[in-house]
Amino acid sequence: LYLNAEVYGAGARWGDALEEAATVAAGPYALDDDYQELFLADNHTSPELVFAVPFDGTNTQTWGGTTFLIAAALGGNMDQSEWGTVEKWYGLRTTPQFVSLFEGGAAGPDERSDILYTSGQSLAVSSLGEFTDGYAYPKYRNVTSTGASGSHGTHSDTDFPMFRLGDAYLMYAEACLRTGGGACEATALGYVNELRQRAYGDASGDITAAELTLDFVLDERARELGWEGHRRTDLIRFGLFTGGSYLWAWKGGVQSGQAVDDYLALYPIPGTEMI
């Protein structure tokens, strides 16, 4: 709320965002050693999750939540049993613009890009209705860190990471830059490089203070937090969700992307809800 306060007309609250992110960063949390374990069926044991939406395949069965996030990402020649499910919905894929954010694309040194599934998939999304158009991004699995399947073949045990320490680190970095930097910049750089060292396995992906810009933070949020529900909010804050200065495949309903009107930065409240 503090991060997006200004763009939604409530005044700049960057200092408040910085203070709250610092409080979380200093709390009893720690980065998970393995990035991909954040999205497994036993992710409730992760020291990184601050607030998660819990799911249990036996006791909280739903076709939404991580059941949807797992099954909708599977199709083509993917073996759904590797994701701990019997479901395969031939649904969601990524855009080429997302893939390009990773160094080396899907085959680069950033472990976070290992999630991209390219076998039998094309990079371009020529048809929205053809699952093999666009790389798949099956980030969530109904499988534990020991390789065991979840408690149910259809419904997921995987909790949804609504808010985690990695996000707080990036919030801190952005709020620091937006308040003019200074004393907080060294800490912000350290937080960002901690995330990148986990992703690269060493310090080869570290950035310098000069490279820590707002544009870099936006891209790093996409790499770190892809498919965790933040991108729309982030693009609105950076003034890129509407208009035509930033395009992605099928923005505005055309393959190459086109400008869209600013009213789309707000969700409509349905008449039935108003009543």
What is the per-residue pLDDT across 118-154, written as a single tens digit (0 to 9) for each? 999 999 999 999 999 999 999 999 999 999 999 999 9
Structure tokens at 116: 């991209």
DSSP three-state, residue 177: helix
Cα separation, 40 vs 147, whole angstroms = 10
CB 158 within 8 A of CB 150: yes
- In one letter, which amino acid is 32? D
Q: Is the pLDDT of residue 268 over 90?
A: no
Nearest alpha-carbon partner for 37 in 117, 147, 167: 147
| Contact partners, residue 273, CB within 8 Å, separation at least 6 | none
| Mean pLDDT, residues 168-191 | 97
The sign of the dihedral angle between the CA atoms of 143, 202, 167, 228 is: negative
pTM: 0.96
Cα separation, 41 vs 145, whole angstroms = 8
Structure tokens at 245: 């200065």
Alpha helix (H) residue ranges in the chain: 14-25, 65-71, 96-100, 165-178, 185-200, 214-225, 231-237, 271-274
CB 212 within 8 A of CB 189: yes
Q: Is the pLDDT of residue 171 over 90?
A: yes
The sign of the dihedral angle between the CA atoms of 247, 253, 254, 260 is: negative
| Mean pLDDT, residues 29-34 | 98
- In one letter, which amino acid is 235? L
| Mean pLDDT, residues 176-201 | 97
The residues pairing with 51 across neighbouring beta strands, listed in sequence order, are 163
| Mean pLDDT, residues 14-40 | 97
At residue 74, the pLDDT reads 98
Average confidence score pLDDT of the chain: 97
At residue 197, the pLDDT reads 98
Instruction: Please state, in angstroms and as integers, the Cα–Cα distance from residue 31 to each residue in 35, 65, 189, 194, 205, following that order.
Output: 9, 24, 16, 9, 17
Of the chain, the percentage scoring pLDDT greater than 70 comes to: 100
Nearest alpha-carbon partner for 163 in 25, 4, 15: 25
At residue 267, the pLDDT reads 86
DSSP 158: P
pLDDT in tens, 242-264: 999 999 999 999 999 999 999 99
Q: What is the pLDDT confidence band of residue 207, given thresholds at 50, 70 and 90?
A: very high
